[in-house]
């Protein structure tokens, strides 16, 4: 029953996101005819041809009716045709998403694991040199824009040291059949590193505070009096108390990684979903922009839903609370 309620909630949220995105595009200054046909071609058309195009693009159709028609097609799997790529939106999103997903997945896992590790070390040694170093690093990276960090890494490793490629997801001038997994990994190092560095700070600082609270608790004092080592106390008491809030924050950071990928992919010219969203917005590709918005929101909601499911595995008290509800 709990799962069904959350699925219904996700459906409602996706509907609201879709409606908001659709109506924001509707009130934008973009002219559907100029965007899709072009100013020069539009000027050479007769009034009858223009009237037919207006009917085709629904210029005079009420926004609610246009949204209903678009949503119905979307549910059936028809997201429309991309105006820039001249392909179905679903196909464009599938290609771009395949490039971005594993990039963001690597960044998400690395930032989570490293952030939790740094937070545990800093919280267990609060006030010491290692804590001040980790906290200083987290504060600096938390206030560093992702695009600026991407430019710095690009300048250092690609321009000065020349040890990593300057951009793209595959080598230039190589056919698709000749691209190896190693080529894709090398080209993804800098974008993934940028997203990882910017994602570490929040989880590290949050875990540090939780770990420091655990180390000041009464049962840790009792464990010290009993002669337990610091690692034993961290393993038995610290990790058990910080893993649930850390998991919550980490799954919530999916939206931040999505937002950061838009800027990072632009800097590295990485052909992923973030770059496609910017291209669609600047080029007036409304079908592609709406499709990316809905798919991105669905992935973020799915991450939060997965976190809720894992709560019951990590903490049985939450699972029993759901059963009583």
Please check whether residues 163 and 230 belong to one and the same domain. Answer: yes
Sole residue written with tokens 């926004």: 63
Identify the domain boundary among 53, 88, 123.
Answer: 88
Domain that holds residue 156: 96-323
Identify the domain boundary among 39, 66, 88.
Answer: 88
Please check whether residues 19 and 116 belong to one and the same domain. Answer: no
Dist. CA 204–CA 57, nearest whole Å: 49
Please check whether residues 265 and 219 belong to one and the same domain. Answer: yes
Copy the structure tokens of residue 114: 């490293």
- Looking at the structure of the chain, the number of domains it has is 2
Dist. CA 121–CA 125, nearest whole Å: 6
Please, is 296 exposed, middle or buried when counting C-beta atoms within 10 Å of its C-beta (0-12, 13-18, 19+)? buried
Identify the domain boundary among 88, 115, 130.
Answer: 88
In 80-105, which positions are buried (b, 16+ CB within 10 angstroms) versus exposed (e)? bbbbebeebbbebbeebbebbeebbe
Spell out the residues 6+ positions from residue 7 whose beta carbon is closer than 8 angstroms to its own.
Answer: 305
CB 157, CB 268: distance < 8 Å: no
Residue 114 is predicted with a pLDDT of 92
| CA 16 to chain CA centroid, nearest Å | 19
Residue 152 is predicted with a pLDDT of 93
Please check whether residues 170 and 65 belong to one and the same domain. Answer: no
Per-residue confidence in pLDDT tens, the chain, 325 aa: 667 887 888 888 888 998 888 888 777 766 666 666 655 566 666 677 767 766 666 666 777 887 888 888 888 888 888 877 888 889 999 988 888 888 888 888 999 899 999 999 998 888 889 999 999 999 898 888 888 999 999 999 989 998 888 877 777 777 767 778 788 888 888 998 998 888 888 889 888 888 888 888 777 777 777 777 777 777 777 777 788 778 777 877 787 887 788 888 888 888 888 888 888 877 777 788 889 989 888 888 887 787 777 665 655 555 555 545 4
CB 264, CB 147: distance < 8 Å: yes
Residue 59 is predicted with a pLDDT of 64
């Amino acid at each position: 029953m709990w799962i069904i309620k959350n699925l219904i909630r996700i459906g409602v949220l996706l509907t609201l996101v879709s409606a908001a995105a659709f109506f924001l595009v509707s009130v934008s200054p973009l002219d559907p005819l100029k965007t899709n046909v072009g100013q020069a071609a539009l000027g050479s058309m007769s009034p009858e041809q223009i009237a037919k195009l207006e009917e085709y693009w629904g210029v005079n159709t009420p926004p609610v009716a246009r949204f209903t028609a678009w949503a119905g097609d979307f549910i059936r799997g028809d997201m429309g045709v991309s105006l820039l790529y001249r392909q179905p939106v679903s196909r464009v999103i599938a290609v771009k998403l395949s490039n971005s997903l594993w990039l963001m997945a690597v960044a998400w896992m690395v930032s989570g694991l490293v952030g939790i590790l740094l937070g545990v070390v800093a919280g267990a040694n609060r006030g010491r040199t290692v804590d001040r170093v980790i906290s200083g690093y987290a504060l600096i990276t938390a206030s560093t824009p992702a695009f600026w960090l991407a430019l710095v890494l690009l300048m250092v490793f690609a321009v000065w040291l020349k040890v990593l490629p300057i951009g793209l997801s595959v080598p230039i001038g190589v056919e698709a059949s000749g691209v190896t997994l190693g080529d894709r990994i090398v080209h993804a190092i800098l974008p993934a590193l940028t997203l990882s560095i910017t994602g570490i700070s929040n989880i590290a600082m949050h875990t540090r505070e939780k770990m420091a609270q655990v180390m000041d608790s009464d049962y840790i004092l009792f464990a010290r009096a009993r002669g337990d080592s610091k690692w034993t106390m961290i393993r038995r008491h610290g990790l058990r108390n910080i893993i649930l809030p850390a998991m919550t924050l980490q799954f919530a950071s999916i939206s931040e990684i999505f937002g950061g990928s838009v800027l990072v992919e632009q800097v590295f010219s990485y052909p992923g979903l973030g770059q496609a969203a910017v291209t669609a917005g600047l080029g007036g590709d409304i079908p592609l922009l709406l499709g990316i918005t809905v798919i991105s929101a669905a992935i973020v909601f799915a991450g939060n839903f997965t976190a809720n499911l894992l709560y019951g595995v990590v903490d049985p008290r939450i699972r029993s609370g759901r059963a009583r509800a």
